[in-house]
Structure 1
Amino acid sequence: MSIKTVAVVGCGIGRSHIIEGYLPHPDMFKITAICDLNEVRLKEVGDEFGIARRTASFDELLTDETIDIIDICTPPGIHLEQVIAALRAGKHVICEKPLTGSLAGVDAIMQAERVAKGVLMPIFQYRYGDGIEKAKRIIAAGVAGKPYLGSVETFWLRTPEYYAVPWRGKWETELGGVLVTHALHQHDMLMHLMGPVSKVFGRVSTRVNDIEVEDCASASLLMQSGALVSLSCTLGSQEEISRLRLHFQNVTFESSHEPYAPGKDPWRIIAANDQVQGQIDALIADWTPVAPRFTTQMRHFHRHLNGQGPLPVTSRDARDALELVTAIYQSSDAGCEVTLPIKGDSPKYAKWRATTR
C-alpha cells in the first residue's frame, strides 16, 4: 500500500487534519509541506510536527511533482480558485467545508473534476464514528423501515472574539453564517441517513453578533421519502450541542449531543419491539470500533486512492449540502417554499447571499 505525500494549506483547521487525519496513519500518509500566510503559525505547526518544508506560496506546491495530495484548509472565500487550480495541476485534492460559495461554483469545480487526473474529496468528517455508522448500517439493511420525521439542532456559541478574525462574519470571505460554516455538518448527516430533500421553507436572521451573515436559522423540510424534518440553528446557545433525532417506522435514532463529534457513540437506538431489537443486535454483532471524524475519513480516502473502496465523500455530496443552504436562503428572501433541485435560472444559483434580518 503506497504512502501518499501531503501538503496542508492553512494551518488552522489544517492542524486538526494533521493530528486526527494523518498522524494516526503513518503507513498511508506523509506530510511533506505546510503552507500558511501567517509566519508565526507556520513556524509553530512546523516545529510541533517536525515538518521541515514551510512556504507561503500555494503556487509553489502546485508545481511540485513530489506532492500527491493538496489539503485545502484555507478561508472559504478562496476555496473555489484553489480547488480548481490544484485539480488542473494534476493533484488529488481534499477541501474543507464549504467547498465553495454558490451552486455555480460547485458546478465549475465538478466540471474541472471531470477532466482532472486527480480526485477531489470534500470534508464531512462528522459522518464517521460508531454511532452514525451503526445507524447507517441499520437503515441500509431496511430494518428501520419507512422514515417518518426528524429534527436536527445545531446549538453552538460564537462570541465577538470569534469574529475578530478578519475573514469571519462576512459574505465575501466566509460565504455565509451558521448554515454554511457550522450546521452544514449536521445537515449533511441528516441527508446521509434520511436521503435527499424535496422542498424547503426557511428563515434566517442575524441576532447574536454584529456581523453580515446569519447566526440563527430555522427550516422545515419535506424529504423525497415523504418524511418531515425541522432544522434549528443558532450561534447564541449557552450550552453547545449538536443533536439529530430521526424517527423511522421501526427505530428512533438519537445522536450523541457532543457538539463537534456527533457521529460518536453514545447514540440512542430505540427499537419498536423485541423482534426489531433482535435484528439490530444481529446486524451489529460483529461491530468493529470506528474512529471518529478525520481519522476514518482520511483512511477511507487512502483506500479509495488505492482502488480498495468508494470515495467516502464526493463533490455531489457537497453540492447536495450547499443546495440545501441555497434553498433556505432563497426561501427566506422570497417568503415562500422552494422546490429542489435548484437550477441555473434560480436567483440564488450564481450567488446565494441572503437578506438577513
Structure 2
Amino acid sequence: MPKLVIASASYGIHAQEALKQLSEVFDEVKRTAFRTGMREDEVLREIGDADAVILGGGGPITRGVMERARGLKIIARHGIGLDNVDVNAATELGIVVTYCRHTGEEISVAEHAVALMLACARRLVEADRCVREGRWRDRVKLVGVELRGKTLGIIGLGAIGREVARIACRGLGMKVVAYDPYVPDEVFEKLGVRRVGLEELLEESDVITIHAPLTLETRGMLSRERLARVKRGAILINTARGAIVDEEALYEMVMKGHIFYAGVDVFSEEPPSRNPLLKLERAVLTPHIAAFTREGLYRMDMAIAEDLVKFFRGQRPLHVANPEVFKKRLRATWLR
C-alpha cells in the first residue's frame, strides 16, 4: 500500500472522517511540518519515499524535489494557492496536483476579508487594547469610518473576490469596482461590479482588497509607486499573498497616514518575525487563517481525502490543478 506525508498542521483536525478514509488507502501516514523557504534537501528528507503529499503553506516543492522524490505521484495542496508548487514541472514529470478550488474555501476567506475591513474601519483591535489596559478615556481617539456608500476595490474577481463583492453589495451597501483582466464582462455585470483598470481602482477606492494568486505577473504588483497612488485615507486588505504587496512601502504609507489602516493575513515570509508591519498600530494582523473555519476546513479536508482515494483506486481526482498531466506519462502507472 502507498505512503502519505501530511505536511499541513490543520489537516484532519476538523474532519476525522477524512483521516479514516485515508487510512483505508495508505499503509503508512506520516505527519510533518513544512515551513516557508525550506531548502530542497530539507523538503526531500521529509517526503522520503512517499507516494503522496498533502501540502499546506510551506515548502516549496520544486522541480528539483520532484525529480529526486521518484516515488511521488500526487501532490494535494491543502488550499487554493499554488505558489509553493512548481505545477509546470509536476506536469512534465507526470505528477498530478490537486487543490481546494471550488470546495467552499472562498466563503471562509471572503468572510475573513470582510471581517478585516470592519475591524480596520472601526479600529477594533485598538479599542480592545484600550479597554484591557484601563485607558477608557482614550476612546475619544478611536474614531473610525463607515463602510456604507463607500467604494470597495477588488483586485482579482475569482471565487473569493466574487463572494466578497456579494457581501459588500448586498450586506454593506458598498459600491464595488474590480480589476481582473481574465474575467469576462458578463461576470462583472451579473455581480453589479464595475470593471476598472488597476490604477483607477487604487485612486478611486476607499477600501482595497486583494484576491489574486501569486504569479510572476502579480508579485510586487502593489509596488511603492502604485501604493503612492492609493486614495488618501483608504484601507488596504490582503488575504491573498504577502509578496503581492511591497510591505516596507505599505508600512511607510500607514505611518504617514496616507493609508488609514491595513488588514493583513498573509506575509512575504511566514512567520513574519522581522516584518515592518508588526510595528504598526493602525493594522490588524492575523496569522494566515482566512480559510480557518470549522466548515471551510471540513470541506477542504474531505475534498482532499476523496481525491486521494479516487486516485489510488484508479480514478481521476475531481479537483485537478494540472489536467494536462493526463496527456503525459504518469508516474501513477495504473491511471495510464
TM-score, with structure 2 as normaliser: 0.38
**Larger Rg, first or second structure (1 or 2):** 2
TM-score, with structure 1 as normaliser: 0.36
Structure in which a larger fraction of residues adopt helix: 2
